[in-house]
A and B are shown apart, each in its own frame.
Chain A
């Protein structure tokens, strides 16, 4: 039976592993050991593991012997310590052990020596079944190209500058525009870096450009949707369209974006991914509703009427006669009466 010594990295993920045949394993910095580690805080001969066979239905394990190491051995986890030998209970705590002290380790035990974490397994240790590779991961993974990102980035920059230019009625100054655009793009970059970093950490691949492309695409889609909603509101002459549709679209896009980000950066199953994205969107809803609850029903001395885009060429709705408009005052008065009674 071979022993597997796993070298653990950040977050308990395996970085390297050693397979050692035989019933005894020595670990240390010197080249005579079965497992040779480079950590400067590990002694040349640090510890030895001796296999204990399973007997009478009692699970086997390893006996740990600290070979008079300088910094000792810390048992971080020992989930399946051989129970029949627990009475010896020499592994009382995570304190560095006495020299030559003997501790019994079970399958999956984790040790810390120096600054290195190790996990001890037998080669018959079961592994999880393979996870299906979702098509989404492959699809959005294809975005990870400069030739896709660059055009998207340029389009989004041009849209930013264009919309600022179209809405500016004071003297055009590039320095003001640049600071605004740099601020926006820096925000997007940070977000992409966050997801890329998370992917690097969790899956060892950052997909940075894919994340960046996804964020840019979501931004473009939102701008387009916002403009269409404003156009609809303008023609219907009401703010309620924007009040209802804008948050809906924003949440939908946020959900889609998050789900794709999760797919690229994490190992979640599709269902987990959707649930997480939905949960995040719910959180946004709850936070924004809480923020607005305090303002609900607040009196305002100022009228609130539609104010959105005003572009005559985009008016498709029919105009009504002055008489009809004035006749429409009656429902307004009736509603004003009702509001005054509240």
Chain B
């Protein structure tokens, strides 16, 4: 697209562009030496390693043209290349429609075979037919926070690029470890390496939150995947099955951890609700207590784990979401209050996106349940809803949605809700049990 635009530019515009470029270069050369030193080492790193960094292209077999691009880098001397799972995902799920190809800095191109994936950490290994040099060494120790690091890749198909930035350590707010990299990653750089000044890979470019906040997969995850691959000695035959196993294992580990915890609580109105379960839970809340126009009191608290496991462009998983509402009728009469409560209760949706190709329809059941101290407070009525939808490609995994509402005749109500993406039956049951036990109107 941008190339097309350039060719359409008129002569004076081109002259102006040239002038600005020249001025920019003069300006950059006049900058203090520290930046100069940084760009100097960036230049060295780039020159030394660019042959080992490849553009990964997903080619539509029928049309013969590329459908997606990303970056990758050579990790051993037999032509094994690391990239992101999300770069090769289309070829992984539809090998009959897409093939994988690389394009090197020197212009050499050849086809690649997908040999393994780590869907949890968004990594993939692809195998070239021959040797490609140089092999990029993987860092054995985590660099200290604050050191300059350099992300390499092919942003927006503009050609091989180096982005200097700062290593900010493993991010504590996500269940799956991610390195916080201060620098601008752009699409197309996904799967490329981020190198320290010694030229060792410290992370794999994976995502960005914009404004210089970007994320890398820690190199340890890649080391583990390579080790597993070498132990196996050959490519994984059934990638879909492999992904399913990884999802099962990941949720098993995650929920074993969560269910073993003593869940912390916090007050919301007269109810106790689940607080931040672990550092990777983020909670927000609010209320309308200061609004004059409000007819009733509505206080809410929402907690989410921002872990998104990328399964395809329109299907992600792994999210955990808790939501709590405390309502008091205030100016409303009982019937009006129940009408509001009913409206709120009927409006819950899952926390992850999915398509018909990926999941089935939700199946739900709603029941009156005897939650809390029902004998002491017979006027309180509790209704609970449980919905599940099954994953089409990954058996034994479900997205579940739970909703519980308690309302009484004293003009107050409490709603608690969670959604879990990619969970087994047993874990969903245990989670619901624990959730119902902890989050309660006192």
Give residues in A with beta carbon < 8 Å to B: 165-171, 237-238, 299-313, 315, 317-322, 325-326, 328-333, 335-337, 339-342
Contact = CB atoms under 8 A, between A and B. Distances in A.
A336 B363 contact: yes
Given A320-B367, A322-B370, A333-B398, A310 B429 contact: no
5 contacts: A306-B366, A319-B374, A328-B386, A340-B359, A340-B392
Interface in B335-372: 335-343, 345-346, 348-350, 353-356, 359-371
Nearest to B368: A319
Contact of A336 (B335, B350, B370, B398): B398
Given A313-B409, A322-B433, A300 B369 contact: no
Interface string B79-112: 0000000000000000000000000000000000
B271 interface: no
B248 interface: no
A311 B364 CA distance: 21
Given A303-B349, A339-B363, A169 B390 contact: no
A162 to B, nearest CB: 9
B128 to A, nearest CB: 37
Nearest to A325: B369
Contacts of B381: 312, 315, 319
Contacts of A318: 368
B387 A303 contact: yes
B432 interface: yes
Contacts of A308: 342
B270 interface: no
A169 B295 contact: yes
B387 A322 contact: no
Q: Is the interface of B mostly helix, strand, loop or mixed?
A: mixed
B368 A169 contact: no
A330 B425 contact: yes
B388 A332 contact: yes
Contacts of A326: 429, 432-433
Contact of A305 (B342, B385, B392): B385
Contacts of B48: none
A166 B362 contact: no
Contacts of A167: 335-336, 339
A306 to B, nearest CB: 5
A321 B369 contact: yes
Contacts of B386: 325, 328-329, 332
Contacts of B428: 329, 333
Contacts of A306: 364, 366, 385
A230 to B, nearest CB: 10
Nearest to A310: B342
Contacts of B232: none
A299 B361 contact: yes
Given A305-B364, A312-B379, A319-B370, A299 B293 contact: no
B349 A302 contact: yes
Given A166-B339, A169-B337, A302 B362 contact: yes
A340 B295 contact: no
Given A310-B341, A312-B379, A313-B409, A332 B336 contact: no
B60 interface: no
Contacts of A321: 369-370
Given A167-B335, A319-B369, A330-B425, 19 more contacts: A166-B335, A167-B336, A168-B336, A300-B361, A303-B401, A304-B362, A310-B383, A320-B368, A320-B369, A322-B370, A326-B432, A328-B386, A336-B361, A336-B362, A336-B389, A339-B389, A340-B359, A340-B360, A340-B391
A238 B332 CA distance: 28
Contacts of B360: 336-337, 339-342
A302 B341 CA distance: 19
Contacts of B127: none
Interface residues of B, number: 65
B436 interface: yes
Given A310-B341, A322-B436, A332-B386, A237 B398 contact: no
Contacts of B340: 169
A302, A317, A330, most chain B CB atoms within 10 A? A302
B47 to A, nearest CB: 49
B240 to A, nearest CB: 15
Nearest to B371: A322
B334 to A, nearest CB: 8
Given A169-B296, A318-B368, A326-B429, A312 B403 contact: no
B57 interface: no
A315 B367 CA distance: 11
Nearest to B347: A307
B408 interface: yes
Contacts of B361: 299-300, 336, 339
Contacts of B349: 301-303
A239 to B, nearest CB: 9
Contacts of A300: 361-362
Contacts of B363: 332, 335-336, 339
Contact of A337 (B367, B383, B390, B409): B390
Given A303-B350, A335-B363, A340 B380 contact: no
A341 B363 CA distance: 13
Contacts of A342: 360
A331 B368 CA distance: 17
A168 B353 contact: no
Contacts of A336: 360-363, 388-390, 398
Contacts of A307: 342, 345-346
A238 B364 CA distance: 10
Contacts of A165: 336
Contacts of B317: none
Contacts of A303: 348-350, 362, 364, 385, 387, 389, 401
Nearest to A331: B365
Given A166-B336, A302-B349, A339 B384 contact: no
A299, A304, A308, most chain B CB atoms within 10 A? A299
Interface in B296-345: 296, 332-333, 335-343, 345
Contacts of B407: 310, 312
Contacts of B359: 301, 340
